[in-house]
Amino acid sequence: MKNNITRLLEARKITYTAFELSAEKHGALETAQLLGAPPETVFKTIVVTREVKGKPILAIIPGPSEVDLKALARVLGEKKLTLPTEKEAERLTGLQAGGISPLALLNKGFQMVLDVSARQHREIHISGGQRGLNIRLPVEALIELINPQVAEIAHRI
């Protein structure tokens, strides 16, 4: 399956593996199970909105975790952050839930924060920018591409 993300990775000569899944929405834990991957290596992208005007934030966290809004607010110097509904997240990003990817939203003005736990792995999985496409790539390549803040922003469910 080729899309703008796979083309971007190929153009940057970044080694990756694409996994095709069925096109229905799969959560990160279900994706890990389908891929036979450790759940803590399958990251999900959570859209977070600010209390004041401004572009939403993309919090990239491990599948078995949830975003810690207070920790994220501290990292970003924000007073209050909220989680939009799934429909709002889709409207804000232009992507379907289950296919929201930091790589699909490069250069679109989103502030990105990657949970520090990603550094414990050589490679992690992220969404390929559409339902049914998962990408495994080196953590350092992802960091270089999306230039996120890296901080402790997740706690295990």
Residue 1 has pLDDT above 80, yes or no: no
Q: Please tell me the predicted confidence (pLDDT) of residue 24.
A: 85
Q: Please tell me the predicted confidence (pLDDT) of residue 2.
A: 85
- Residue type for position 88: E
- Global pTM? 0.96
Q: Please tell me the predicted confidence (pLDDT) of residue 132.
A: 92
Query: What does the pLDDT average to over 110-132?
Result: 97
Query: What does the pLDDT average to over 119-136?
Result: 96
Is 5 within 8 Å of 135 (Cβ atoms)? Answer: yes
Name the one residue in this structure whose structure tokens are 């399958």: 42
Mean model confidence pLDDT for the chain: 95
Q: Please tell me the predicted confidence (pLDDT) of residue 97.
A: 92
Cα–Cα distance measured from residue 119 to residue 42, given in angstroms and rounded to the nearest whole number: 13
Q: Please tell me the predicted confidence (pLDDT) of residue 25.
A: 85
CB atoms within 10 A of CB 6: 17
Tens of pLDDT, residue by residue over 47-66, are 999 988 889 999 999 999 99
Q: Please tell me the predicted confidence (pLDDT) of residue 54.
A: 87
Tens of pLDDT, residue by residue over 30-52, are 999 999 999 999 999 999 999 88
Query: What does the pLDDT average to over 98-109?
Result: 94
The distance of Cα 65 from the centroid of its chain, to the nearest Å, equals: 12
Give all domains of the chain, ordered by start, each with its CATH number.
4-156 (3.90.960.10)
Q: Please tell me the predicted confidence (pLDDT) of residue 157.
A: 83
